[in-house]
Structure 1
């Protein structure tokens, strides 16, 4: 992936954000008009359509608004070295979200905002109710399979979102510096969830204003980690995989919960404020290991044209 551009393509980035919002937001109108909200049978289909909007916006911008020679390479669908280059990052993307989610639960438990039953799985058994011949341990195994295996199904819609937000936008904002690119992408990505947040998505127990603030904090922290995967691997696939498994890892909160203690996303898990501590520490570890900012190949112009140098911009 090249970082040869020394300024932000304002027309391209503004067009991308506008298209991502204008395509996605109207899709949620039926959820408001019918009064069924996220309980509607159409809600999963609508959310799937929303997650395709950033991918569509990214392709439109790269194809017609700010044309590039290779859309697939620019968006990170293909990359130099291919799978051999990014398979290690794919493994991190597969298992990393669950590790972070589990650590977030431990932090919440230590801070007293999460009541856990680490080995009895009583909260999980209470939620699914007694079933003849099915033990809490079997329910727990089924939940783990959903997190680590069926989570791959989440990667499909997540790819649509990541192709736009990390595949296009984060990279387009790199002339501002990687911290700014992660920050702006995270804020815009969080606000893009706006109609769903109003309907109670992610933070059903929180007032709307609080939900927006919390989604903004989560979006910025997560954007830094997904952005690292995108830039370090030179591919959008690890970011898409991580996004999918971040969604599936939310099930760990219920898995280890104690009976009689509903999981509150405001305080618990990666979405909650106690989980942000874990996300921030993960970013700090990457920085201490000198993995952030990511070293990017950059083409120099003029007399040194064609000479490759590394930049941490």
Structure 2
């Protein structure tokens, strides 16, 4: 049995009352409608104007959609899970270090094999020492800044949608949550404002990205459900964006680098599969909130 199947079956196992299941399904429907309504203007701005401000605003659309759904359906805010429990410490360390480990393995192999090339962006010092300094700053300071925007997404994806998919009895809720999360990015990829700036085939990039996000969503879900807190997922999201997008990607070049590295890269995907297997090989828990 693959770790993905085990995790999904674990998430499906709790008994859910029929009323709660109906409420969860209604919440999913309202959330998805609100998500489209709130995301569309920001996506248009990001694609047409090619402005990063649109993407930063877009990152808060899932969170605002979740908050709007809670208000419309009078669900309350108790299960957002903004509290840290006793088991959250190890999860926060994993969340901060996971992108560094994945990127070091994938990009290191890509650079060493010649599938891509290590380079220094214009205006920065060259050499591995400078790169190590950038990685340290990106992991600490870049992640801290990124928490503001990552929180906007995670309030929606892991703070609302994931637990509703479980309560609604949706088959393989962890996989479905990852597919929805990936599909939400596709308009940006198709519009050419996300991931396609370094060349490459847009259809291939889109397919690889969907697979990549679906795989890594199991890691996000495991950290969220096993601790009962969304903060490990928020930290992982912020750390991933900073380490991959702001540190490793700018130091990578090559005509085929887009295929092997980056958020859609084959080597990054392989490293994520291994990481997900390691972290999800044992059955986890399904906690809505941290244990008191």
Normalised by the size of structure 1, how large is the TM-score?
0.75
Which of 1 and 2 has higher RCO (CA within 8 Å, sep 6+)? 2
Q: Which residue of 1 aligns with 2:96?
A: 94
Which digits, 9 at most, give the CA deviation of each residue in 1:246-286, with x for residues without a partner?
111114434764xx646833321453111111111112123
Q: Which residue of 1 aligns with 2:248?
A: 253
Which digits, 9 at most, give the CA deviation of each residue in 1:5-58, with x for residues without a partner?
35362211021122112201222323444xx42xxxxx2321121111111111
Which digits, 9 at most, give the CA deviation of each residue in 1:124-177, with x for residues without a partner?
1xx225x7xx56356324412332122211111011101101111111111477
The offset of 1:233, in angstroms, is 1.2
Q: Which residue of 2 aligns with 1:232?
A: 226
CA RMSD in angstroms, aligned pairs only: 2.8
Q: More helix by proportion, 1 or 2?
A: 2
- Counterpart-to-counterpart distance in 1, 2:170 and 2:237: 19
Larger Rg: 1
Q: Which residue of 1 aligns with 2:65?
A: 57
Q: Which residues of structure 2 form unaligned runs of 5+?
A: 1-13
- Counterpart-to-counterpart distance in 2, 1:195 and 1:213: 13
Q: Which residue of 2 aligns with 1:199?
A: 192
Q: Which residues of structure 1 form unaligned runs of 5+?
A: 38-42, 117-122, 299-313
How many positions carry a matched residue from both structures?
268
Residue 148, structure 1, aligned to residue 159, structure 2: no
Which digits, 9 at most, give the CA deviation of each residue in 1:103-122, with x for residues without a partner?
12234346652334xxxxxx
Q: SS of the counterpart of 2:178?
A: helix
Residue 296, structure 1, aligned to residue 286, structure 2: yes
Q: Which residue of 2 aligns with 1:271?
A: 264
Q: How does 1:1-313 map to 2 (within 5 A)?
A: 5-6=16-17, 7=21, 9-33=24-48, 36-37=49-50, 43-65=51-73, 67-68=74-75, 70-71=76-77, 73-78=78-83, 82-109=84-111, 112-116=114-118, 123-124=119-120, 127-129=121-123, 136=127, 139-150=130-141, 151-175=143-167, 180-197=172-189, 198-204=191-197, 205-250=199-244, 251-254=246-249, 257=252, 261=254, 264-288=257-281, 290=282, 292=283, 294-296=284-286
User: Are the aligned partners of 2:228 and 2:287 in contact in 1 as well (CA < 8 Å)?
Assistant: no
